[in-house]
Amino acid sequence: MMPPTEGRKLYQNIATAISKAIRNGTYQPGQRLPPERELAEEFNVSRPTIREAMIALDIMGLVEARQGSGIYVTHSRPAEQSDDLDIGAFELTEARRLFEGEAVALAATTITDEELTELSAILADMVDENERDIVGDQADRRFHVAIARATRNTAIVLVVETLWDLRYKSPLCRNMLARARAVGVRPLVDDHVEILDALKTRDPRKARAAMHHHLGTVIENLLTATEMEAVQRAQSEVAARRSELARRTAL
């Protein structure tokens, strides 16, 4: 296992190691990188960490996905940009799962009927956003922040808001979420209904379990959706549809 570098995120250590291997010729331009599972075993890290590292290398212009084939080296030197892409979506969602699980448990003991009604209204907005494919997941954010506010603890509200804002401030996280949306990932309405139902029972353990389940599912969906080959397939399908539409309208 590669020893961690102090002050750096784990995905950055992996991306740096692979970029060095590309620069020193271990991996040549045009060469296929080892499969994700092999890299995870080599560096003794999780698949999400390797996924974040691969996406970071893709953003830097060092690798690309080829449909049905794998990840290939494109250049030996990165584009002119910092390799510090900040927090990835997996790391951020894991933090949310830990923190918001306890926040919703506390909220279950303090939430009012009026706040439950507000959450129901936000859920309706979430359904509308999904149907209209609105980017930004604003109703999703409002739902989780409203739960934080129901705790009557301003520090909890600040932390939840900060974690949500990092989704948009972190280049790596923003890129990963865009990839997920490209292959159809949307806010999970049924999961939010379960969270709301648990809050209505005022049961902290049930509320915590519902939140843990929800954000665990988010992590799994991100893992599937950010598979670079899956994104390439989605892009190819969109390009094919556009080509077919152009051909038909030209008749």
Of 238 and 71, the structure prediction assigns the larger pLDDT to: 71
Same domain, residue pair 143 and 41: no
Q: Which long-range contacts (CB under 8 A, 24 or more apart) does 29-38 make?
A: 29/73, 29/74, 29/75, 29/76, 30/72, 30/73, 31/72, 31/73, 32/69, 32/70, 32/71, 32/72, 33/63, 33/70, 33/71, 33/72, 33/73, 35/70
Interior/surface letters 72-91, b for 16+ CB within 10 angstroms, e for the rest = ebeeeebeeeeeebbbbbbb
Q: pLDDT tens across 110-151, in order?
A: 999 999 999 999 999 999 988 887 766 889 999 999 999 999
Same structural domain, 182 and 101: yes
Is the domain of 105 the same as that of 155?
Answer: yes
What are the tens digits of pLDDT across the range 48-94?
889 888 888 888 888 888 877 788 999 766 555 444 567 888 889 99
Tokens 């990840």: give the residue: 71
CB under 8 A, 24+ apart: contacts of 20-28: 22/62, 22/73, 22/75, 22/76, 23/76, 23/77, 25/76, 27/73, 28/73, 28/76
pTM: predicted TM-score of the whole model, two decimal places: 0.68
Question: Is residue 82 one of the residues assigned to a domain?
Answer: no
Domain membership of residue 5 (yes or no) is no
Are 110 and 63 found together in one domain?
no
Residue 181 and residue 116 in one domain: yes
CATH number at residue 38: 1.10.10.10
Same domain flag for 103 and 60: no
Structure tokens at 190: 């049924």
- Domain assignment present for residue 251? The answer is no
Pull the structure tokens for residue 122: 């936000």
Whether residues 112 and 203 share a domain: the answer is yes
State whether 147 and 42 are in the same domain: no
What pLDDT was estimated at residue 81?
Answer: 47
Q: Is residue 4 part of a domain?
A: no
DSSP symbols for 98-163 = HHHHHHHHHHHHH--HHHHHHHHHHHHHHHHHHHHT-TT-HHHHHHHHHHHHTTT-HHHHHHHHHH
CATH number of the domain at 188, please.
Answer: 1.20.120.530
Contacts of 59 (CB under 8 A, 6+ apart): 81, 85, 171, 172, 175
Q: Examine residue 234 and state whether it is found in any structural domain, yes or no.
A: no
Give a yes or no: residue 30 inside a domain.
yes
Q: What mean pLDDT comes out for the span 85-104?
A: 90
Q: For residue 99, tell me if it sits in a domain.
A: yes
**Domain boundaries, position 45:** 10-73
Residue 25 lies in a domain: yes
Higher pLDDT: 247 or 176? It is: 176
Cβ pair 187, 126 in contact under 8 A: yes
Residue 4, helix vs strand vs coil: coil
Q: Give the count of domains, the chain.
A: 2
Same domain as 156, residue 107: yes
Q: Are residues 111 and 215 in the same domain?
A: yes
